[in-house]
Amino acid sequence: MLTSAMPKSLTSSAAPSEVLSQFVSQLATIDNSRAASITEVDELLDRTLSVLENGDFQARWEVSKLLPQIVSAELITPQLAIDALFDLLDEDMEEELAWFIVRILGQIEHPDVLAALMETLKSAQSEELRAMAAGVIAAQGTKAIAPLTNLLGEAEWRLLAVQALSQIRHSETIAPLLEVVQDADPQIRAAAIEALSSFHDVRIPPVLLNALGDIAAPVRREAIVGLGFHQQLADAIVPRLQACLYDFNLEVCRQAAIALGRLQSPAAADALFALLRSPHTPIPLQVETVRALNWIQTKATIEVLQQHLKPSADESVIQEILLALGRIEPDDLKLIAAQILAESIAALPSSTLKQTAALSLGQLEQPDSIEPLLNLLADPDESVRLHAIAGLKQIESAFDRLQTLAATENLPNQWRDAIATALAEW
């Protein structure tokens, strides 16, 4: 019998982790040929819940893995475990314990689990507990869609229901989410738009386009993010997103620039060119525009970036342009990007910018970049010299070029020392 097998040292003063360890050992000794007695079941459940209530994080973690296994092994019925855990939930309990209880409920395979979690969601006064329950409900998958859809009809629970539906990421959630895109609460509208944006469904682009005119900036922002993933509709989307580049909310403008970059169409590039050229574009938005243009990577894009690579530009914008040029991927454009960097590097107004340019030249791996990087070896700033060496190390023929120079007679001592340092770093 399990009860008779319990060690006499198992008392209420024992450490929770020790109690748990002893129970794990005892569970393995149960004779599989018979069912556990009612007394054994009660004792097993009581002791396990005691560890859950009184244990430290590690002990609770072990219980959260053990209790679903006990249920699966049919030592405790699912209904008994569900009822016991549900009764244990209390508004005044610590958040960590509540999290573990909800987590355990989510791991028990039984039809009543979903009902218990839904009841927890509706009865909890704590926002944290409601959010935890919503997350575990979402983890139940498609079987949670129907009860969550029913909650959409109740204003009090609508936001949590939308948030839970958004985590399921299944096409069956599209219809209920479409029902709330015009909700009076902007939080609900934004959450629904964000969730719908993850699907490629013909019903969704018109909804996203319509949401661009929403009075709430978070809703407009989520719609823009979603539209950025519909390249096949670029012709229809670009004019609408271009207007969003001049929204009164800077975050909306920023997301519009990102979305246009993702669309990668010539019209999208033109919209970004115009934004970058405008003297009224805020510096942070200029930086984001450069990043967006780097998604497009055409000769025209590189030429526009070159036009803005001038000493009078804000240093953060120059920095982003230097980074963008170093990330050019098409082989036929790498040489152009390297030439632009090489021509501009001497006029860069700070050591930080020279360091960035050196690394970008190295990333492009162009043999023609060796000479401008060699020139940086004579820079008075040690960090610039080290970045130049790092750039040279990425170019296949640079080592041979340095060795040739090191063997050159009448080389100025300044250059000889710099080249020796570079070779020593290889």
Contacts of residue 125, defined as CB under 8 A and 6 or more positions apart, other chains included, come to: 91
Tell whether pTM > 0.85: no
Q: Which amino acid is at 231?
A: Q
Regions of the chain short of the pLDDT cut 50: 1-13, 31-34
Please write the tens of the pLDDT for every residue from 391-404: 999 998 888 888 88
Structure tokens at 121: 């969601």
- How would you class 410 by CB atoms within 10 Å of its CB: exposed for 0-12, middle for 13-18, buried for 19 or more? exposed
CA distance 147 to 312: 60
Under 8 Å between Cβ of 260 and 272: yes
Tokens (6 digits) for 340: 């632009």
Letter for the amino acid at 93? M
pLDDT one-digit tens code per residue, 37-95: 666 667 778 888 888 888 889 989 988 888 888 888 777 888 888 888 888 877 677 88
Q: Which two tokens stand for residue 253?
A: 């403008």
**pLDDT score at 183:** 97
Structure tokens at 296: 């497009």
Tokens of 279: 């003297």
Contacts of 355 (CB under 8 A, 6+ apart): 383, 384, 387
pLDDT the model gives residue 30: 54
Q: How far apart are CA 40 and CA 30, in angstroms?
A: 10
Per residue, the 3-state secondary structure of 165-193, as one string, reads: HHHHCCHHHHHHHHCCCCCCCHHHHHHHH
